[in-house]
Amino acid sequence: MQLLVSVTDVEEAENAIEGGADIIDIKNPSEGSLGANFPHVIREIVSKVPSSLESSATLGDVPNLPGTVSLAGAGAAWCGVNYVKVGLMGVRTLEDAVFLLKQLRHAVKMINPHIKVIAAGYADAAMVKALNPLLLPLVSSQAGIEGCMIDTAIKDGHNLFYYLNRYQLENFVTEAHGSGLICALAGSLREVDIPLIQELGADIIGLRTAVCEGDRVRGRVSKDKVQRIRSTLEMKFLTSHPQTTYP
């Protein structure tokens, strides 16, 4: 499972890289769960990410405005990231979500056909009147994008597992993988949640608060905290995949 760490600037990115993150996710938490950062910041961070790692950029918790979102996606793709993530805040129906994502995919691929588009939904969708996140595998598959993830919109201390149970998340992961999609889970996750995320079979775990000194908006990504999460991930992997010894 890959470790995605959300960062806001070069200093945080360097801490995430040195701490062992696999994906450097560039966002602006002061603008929301998937708040977008500035193009010059994204490009500066991307220039610091080693070729052995990947980068992603968020477009925001977007309204149902496919043209606006497509233009934002083209801008993020121009910044040189490997993934473009979009939070489906404003769409209410499966049809609208598919249409928006198709337009975003087209815009991103015009800039670079190798960039992956990830649709993000919200575990607390009912509270913000957003699309049911459990529809994301179907939506993403129909839109022809590469992956989907579940996050939380409201950052009030309640995390992913407060809103969705294990059975729902297992089905989400199974449906995503059944459609050949990358599957990511986030949403105020803590170190203690890592074993269950791994058991669910997600490809990517997304973190910010858990690796920050301070809160998700004003806090700063800590290299030591990223290293601790990295060690927890690797320890769990070794426990699940013990080496076989032969006489």
Residues assigned a catalytic role? 27, 85
Q: Which two tokens stand for residue 9?
A: 């600037």
Task: Let me know how many helices (H) and strands (E) the chain has, helices first.
Answer: 10, 10
d(CA 163, CA 190): 15
Closest of 236, 213, 233, 215 to residue 223, by C-alpha: 213
Question: Are 189 and 205 spatial neighbours (Cβ–Cβ below 8 Å)?
Answer: yes
d(CA 46, CA 198): 28
User: Residue 159 burial by CB count (10 A; 0-12/13-18/19+): exposed, middle or buried?
Assistant: buried
Question: Are 184 and 149 spatial neighbours (Cβ–Cβ below 8 Å)?
Answer: yes
d(CA 17, CA 56): 13
Question: Are 189 and 160 spatial neighbours (Cβ–Cβ below 8 Å)?
Answer: yes
- The helix/strand/coil state of 65 is coil
Residue 244 DSSP label: P
* Positive or negative: CA dihedral 143, 149, 155, 158: positive
